Amino acid sequence: MKYMLLIHQGTTPTPNSPEDWARLSQDEQNAVYGAYQKINENPGVTAGLGLAPPETATTVRVQDGRTLTTDGPFVETKEALGGYLIFEADDLDAAIELAASIPAASMGGAIEVRPVVEW
């Protein structure tokens, strides 16, 4: 089975906001990098692309033929998608275990695990 793991950073400090990130000790920062490195070394993982912070998002809708844009993400900023990865695994349990190892899961965010539809 293939799963997409959607990473919602929530209030997790990330290098995207340097002042929050600086609040983590050097050891904590290394732990975050280490966790991601371990995830990327997992043979089932296809790394996704990182996304710039939700504040940089533009949300687009088309109404009556007119393109309307709003500043910010579709969902609340704190619920916005921060990144994703694809994981090929035997079952949901394996995907849940990997999700739990993503720093955002334990540092103020959450990971949504979604099966990828295979045609």
Among 22, 47, 68, 92, binds another protein (CB under 8 A): 92
Among 49, 69, 90, 119, binds another protein (CB under 8 A): 90
Q: Which is nearer to another protein, 3 or 84 (CB)?
A: 3
In the complex, what is the shortest distance from the CB of residue 98 to another protein, in angstroms, rounded to a whole number? 13
In the complex, what is the shortest distance from the CB of residue 44 to another protein, in angstroms, rounded to a whole number? 13
Q: Which is nearer to another protein, 80 or 98 (CB)?
A: 98
3 state DSSP class of 41: helix
Q: Binding of another protein at residue 76 (CB under 8 A)?
A: no
Token pair belonging to 44? 């089932």
Q: Give CA angle at 96 (33, 117), nearest 5°.
A: 105
Q: Cα–Cα distance between 2 and 32 in angstroms, integer?
A: 25
Q: Cα–Cα distance between 95 and 65 in angstroms, integer?
A: 41
